[in-house]
Amino acid sequence: MRYKKKPIVVEAVQFIDCVSDKIQDHFDEYPDWLNEAFKEHTIRLIFADTKHLTIESFAIATKEGEMTITKANWLIQGVKGELYPCNDEIFKMTYEEVNKNAE
């Protein structure tokens, strides 16, 4: 048998390089679920350079254990509110942007 993935709409944020002291300046741009994940320590920052507070990646607690989100990867909120990382190439093959009115 062959199966096709059901069309569902998820929310996702792509990780890009940033400096941690500027992250808080952009909290209002983040979706609420991402802000909650930071507050609940579901996501923690991994620094490449602690002197300049350059973020190398994020660590995220998932049901499968801790996973890392690195540059260009995506953090997805699933249909049950679960968070998981996705490689950029796989994300682009699997998802396409939808118009908010089309949901």
**Residue 60 falls inside a structural domain:** yes
Domain-embedded: residue 2: no
Does residue 84 contact residue 67 with C-beta atoms inside 8 Å? yes
Pick from 89, 25, 30, 19: which is nearest to 54 by CA? 19
Average pLDDT over residues 4-15: 85
Q: Is the residue at 21 inside a domain?
A: yes
* Tokens read off for 1: 């048998």
The residue that leads in pLDDT, 92 or 21, is: 92
| Alpha carbons 91 and 100: distance in angstroms, whole number | 19
Does residue 3 register a pLDDT over 90? no
In this structure, is residue 69 part of a structural domain? yes
Structural domains in the chain (count) = 1
Q: Is the pLDDT of residue 100 over 80?
A: no
19 secondary structure, DSSP code: B
In a domain, 36, yes or no: yes
- Residue 4 in domain: no
Dist. CA 84–CA 102, nearest whole Å = 24
Whole-number pLDDT of residue 86: 92
Is 70 exceeded by the pLDDT of residue 102? Answer: no
Write out the residue range of the structural domain in which residue 71 sits.
11-97
pLDDT band at residue 88 using 50, 70 and 90 as cut-offs: very high
Question: pLDDT for 21-72, tens place per residue?
Answer: 555 555 567 788 888 888 888 888 887 777 766 777 888 988 889 998 888 8
Residue 92 has pLDDT above 60, yes or no: yes
Residue 90 lies in a domain: yes
